[in-house]
Chain A
Amino acid sequence: MKKCLIYLEKGYETYSIDLLRVAQAMYGEEYHADALTVGGDISKAVGCFDRIFQVSEEAVPDYDLTAITDVLEELMEAEGFHSILIPATYTGRMLAPRAAMRLETGLVADITEVEVHDGSVIMVRPAFSGKIMAGIVNEETAPIMMSIRPGVFTCEAPASRNTETITLTPERRQPPRVVRVARQEKGISTDIRESEILVSGGGGVMKHMDVVEALAQALGWFVSLTMLAFVIFMLVVIFHPMGNIRLGGPNAKPKMNYWQWFTVALCAGIGTGVVFWGAVEPILFTFEPAPSLGLEPGSDTAVIWAMRTTYMHWTLTPYAIYATFGLILAYVCYNMRQPFTVSSGLVPLMGQKALSGKVAAVVDVLTVFALVGGIAALWAMVSSSCPRVSRSPSDCPTVCRCISASPPSSWWLISAPASPA
C-alpha cells in the first residue's frame, strides 16, 4: 500500500488536511495517510489520518526549518513514504525545497492540479506568472514531493481512519540559524475614498510613517473647520461694504449677465463633479462608512452620516473655497493689475516683494505641486471607486478628466466675468 506524508502546518491545518484529496487522486481510496505537525492544532485532523506525528513547539520552533527537515529526514528513513505533500504557504515553500535537497529528490512547486496517466503522476502548476500551465513528472527519484497551493483542493469527506498520535522529541542537532524576534499583525489602513484629508509621504519618510499618520489623524477636524471658515469669510464679504467693490475697476462692465455667469460657473466649477459624485457619494458612504466611525453599513446612522458628508462636499462649502480663491485672484489681477500668477495673491499682504525672486517661486511651485497632488488624489479616488460605481471601466478616464479639470478652471471662470469691458 502506498504511504503518504502530509505536513500539517500550524495555522493552516484545514488547508493541510485538504491535501488528502491529492493523495486520493494519486492512489485512490487505498493508501496509508500520515501527518507531521510542529505545534499545529490536531483536533480537526484526528480521524482523517492513520498516524499523526507531533512535535511540540518548545522542542522545535515552527520557523526552524533545518530542525523540521531533520525530523522529516528521520521519518522518511524509518517509514519510506512514497509521497510527501506540503502546503505551499510561506513556510511550506521554504521547507519543501530544503527537504527535497536533503532527500535528494525532485520537487514540484505550487501544484494546482494532479493527474494520473498510465501509473505516472503528472503534477500541474502555473508558470510565467500564471500565464501558462506545465505538467511535470518525477519518475526517477522517490519520494514524490510537491508543495500544493492552499485552497485549491478540498477534501470534504475524508475517509474515516483510526488515528494514532505519536509525540516525537527530536534531538536538536544544532542551534537555529534563524530566530524570529518580532511579529506584527498586518494593520488595515483607512480606505482613501472615505478620507477627508489625504496626507502623502514620499520615500524619505518611509521609515517614519507613524509620524505622518499622527499628522493625518490630527488634521481630521482641521478640514471641517477650514471649510466652515471659508463659508464664514464669504458671508462676511457679501454683507460687508467691501462686497460692493466692482471687480475689474469702478467702470468695468460685465460680459455676461448674472444668469449666464452662474450657469458657466456652476458647470465648470462643480457641475461635472456634482452630477457624478452627488449621486455616488450618498450610496457609497451609506454602504461603506468610514471604518473609524464604527457605523454599521446601510444603517440609519450611516445614511445620516453619508448625507452629512455629501452636503459638506457638494453644497456651499466647496463653492466658498473656490470663490475665495477666485475672488482674491480676480481682485489682484483685474483691479490691482498684477500678473496672472497665484503669487500675485500675496501682493496685498507683502507688496511688490511678493512677485520677485524666492517668494513668487516658492508659492507658484507649491501651487503646481498642490494641483498635481490634487489631481493625483482624484485619480486614485476615482479609479478605486469606478469598478464599483460605473458599469464599464472605460467610462473612468472621461470622468477623471472632467473632475480633475475643475479646480483650475473654476477660478478662471469665476474671475473671468468681471474682466474689464
Chain B
Amino acid sequence: MKILCLVKFTPDVDEFQYDHEKQTLVRENVKTIINPDDACALGFALQLKKQQPEQIHIEVVSMAPMSAVPLMEEILRRRVDKAVMLSDRRFAGSDTLATSRILGAYLKKADFDVILTGDHSADGDTAHIPSQLAEYLGIGQVSAIVGIDKPSFLEGSPLVTVDNDRYLDTYQLTFPAILSVSRASKIRLPFVRFADLRMDVGDKLTTLDLDGLELLPEQAGQSGSPTRVVRTWTRTYQEKPQRQLVGNDEAGVETVYRFLKEQGYLP
C-alpha cells in the first residue's frame, strides 16, 4: 500500500511572545516545526509501517523553501521511503488556490493509494488544501479525524471517526481518498531511532521546481493567487470600558443568559 503524507513546515506558533508594551507579536527566533496535525498523520502512517514494513510504502510531500531540507531529512530518518520537496522562489506568495494547484500538479502524476495529512495548519489555519486537493483530484476527503480503524484502512475502505463539535461521526471512504487527521487524535510522531540519527538520506530526497511540475509561472505564486493579504495587525488587548445595560439583578441574569446563549457558550 502506498501512503502519501502531505506535510507543512510551520513556525511553532505557541512560542510566539506578545510584547505588551509595543503591542506587537514577536515572531523572531521561533523554531520551525512539522505542523502538529501533519505530524499526527505521518505518525499514523509510521505506525502501520512498523507493523508491516514490507507492505507499506510512505512518501512525504511538502511545498517548502530549501531551508526546510534538514527538517525533511529528519522525517526521512524515521524510515520514510521517499520525500519530495516542491520548492521554487516563484512559489512564494501563493494563496491556498495556487498552493493546491502546485501540489495538485505533482499529485496528479504521483502513485498513491491514500493521502494522509493534517486537518489544518497552525499558522494559516484555513484547512483549505485537503478539500481543494480532493476536488482537484476528484476523490473523497474527510476533515477533523480523531481515529482511524486500522483493519479497514488496510483493506482500502477506512472507517474514520470525526469530531465535528456536536457529534462523533463515523464515515467510511474508499481509496483513493484524503484523510485529514486532527491533533486531537493524539497520534504521536515517533522520534528518530538512535542508530538512524546519522543515516544518510540524501538519495531518498527529490526536489522539483515550477518547470519540473510543468506549471506556468502565472499559475503559481503571487500571480496565480486571486486573494492577497493587504495588511496584518496584532490584536490589541485593551481594557474595555464598563457598560451598564440593566438596572436590577432580575434583568441582569436574563441579559447575561441571553448573551451567553447568543455567543454559543450555552446550548
Interface core residue of B169, B174, B226, B233 (most chain A CB under 10 Å)? B226
Contact between A183 and B227, CB atoms less than 8 A apart: no
Question: A128: CB under 8 A from chain B?
Answer: yes
Q: Which residue of A lies closest to B98 (CB)?
A: A106
- CB-CB under 8 A for A131 and B235, given A90-B165, A182-B169: yes
Contact between A98 and B132, CB atoms less than 8 A apart: yes
Contact between A109 and B143, CB atoms less than 8 A apart: no
Contact between A181 and B171, CB atoms less than 8 A apart: yes
- A104 to chain B: which residues have CB within 8 Å? 97
Contact between B125 and A110, CB atoms less than 8 A apart: yes
Contact between B234 and A100, CB atoms less than 8 A apart: no
Contact between B226 and A178, CB atoms less than 8 A apart: no
Question: A172: CB under 8 A from chain B?
Answer: no
Question: A69: CB under 8 A from chain B?
Answer: yes
Per CB-CB distance, the 9 closest pairs between chain A and chain B, nearest first, are A177-B140, A106-B226, A106-B227, A97-B131, A90-B164, A109-B126, A182-B170, A141-B226, A101-B135
Question: B122: CB under 8 A from chain A?
Answer: yes
- CB-CB under 8 A for A98 and B97, given A90-B143, A133-B233: no
Interface core residue of B25, B131, B144, B230 (most chain A CB under 10 Å)? B131
Docked complex Cα distance between A141 and B224 (Å): 11
Question: B257: CB under 8 A from chain A?
Answer: no
Binds A, one of B11-19, B70-78, B109-117: B11-19
- A181 to chain B: which residues have CB within 8 Å? 159, 170-172
Contact between B232 and A90, CB atoms less than 8 A apart: no
Contact between A131 and B168, CB atoms less than 8 A apart: no
Q: Give the shortest distance, in Å, between B68 (CB) and chain A (any CB).
A: 18
Contact between A135 and B232, CB atoms less than 8 A apart: yes
Contact between B143 and A179, CB atoms less than 8 A apart: no
Q: Which residue of A lies closest to B165 (CB)?
A: A90
Q: What is the interface of chain A, defined by CB distance below 8 A to chain B?
A: 11, 63, 65-66, 69, 89-91, 93-98, 100-102, 104-110, 122, 126-141, 150-151, 154, 176-186
Contact between A138 and B165, CB atoms less than 8 A apart: no
Q: Which residue of B lies closest to A106 (CB)?
A: B226
Docked complex Cα distance between A134 and B229 (Å): 7
- CB-CB under 8 A for A100 and B97, given A90-B164, A133-B233, A178-B142: yes
Interface of A, secondary structure class, is mixed
Docked complex Cα distance between A138 and B244 (Å): 40
- A184 to chain B: which residues have CB within 8 Å? 167-170
- B166 to chain A: which residues have CB within 8 Å? 11, 186
Q: Which residue of A lies closest to B97 (CB)?
A: A106
Contact between A122 and B235, CB atoms less than 8 A apart: no
Residue pairs across A and B with CB atoms within 8 Å: the count is 171
Question: B136: CB under 8 A from chain A?
Answer: yes
- B129 to chain A: which residues have CB within 8 Å? 97
Q: Which of B136, B230, B235 contacts A132 (CB 8 A)?
A: B235
Question: B151: CB under 8 A from chain A?
Answer: no
Contact between B135 and A107, CB atoms less than 8 A apart: no
Contact between A63 and B132, CB atoms less than 8 A apart: no
Contact between A179 and B132, CB atoms less than 8 A apart: no
Contact between B228 and A136, CB atoms less than 8 A apart: yes
Q: List 16 A-B contacts (CB under 8 A).
A: A94-B131, A96-B131, A97-B126, A98-B135, A101-B132, A105-B97, A128-B123, A129-B122, A129-B125, A136-B227, A137-B230, A138-B226, A151-B262, A178-B173, A179-B171, A179-B173
Contact between B136 and A101, CB atoms less than 8 A apart: yes
- A102 to chain B: which residues have CB within 8 Å? 135
- CB-CB under 8 A for A180 and B171, given A97-B128, A137-B227: yes
- A96 to chain B: which residues have CB within 8 Å? 128, 131
- A131 to chain B: which residues have CB within 8 Å? 13, 16, 18, 25, 234-235
Contact between B167 and A185, CB atoms less than 8 A apart: yes
- CB-CB under 8 A for A178 and B230, given A98-B131, A129-B122: no
Q: Give the shortest distance, in Å, between A138 (CB) and chain B (any CB).
A: 5
Interface flags for B206-224 (1: CB within 8 Å of A; 0: not) read: 0000000000000000000
Q: Which residue of A lies closest to B160 (CB)?
A: A178
Docked complex Cα distance between A151 and B174 (Å): 35
Q: Which residue of A lies closest to B224 (CB)?
A: A140
User: Which chain B residues (1-42) contact chain A, with CB distance < 8 Å?
Assistant: 11, 13-14, 16, 18, 25, 27
Contact between B125 and A133, CB atoms less than 8 A apart: no
Question: B139: CB under 8 A from chain A?
Answer: yes
- A185 to chain B: which residues have CB within 8 Å? 167-168
Contact between B96 and A178, CB atoms less than 8 A apart: no
Contact between A178 and B172, CB atoms less than 8 A apart: yes
- A63 to chain B: which residues have CB within 8 Å? 171
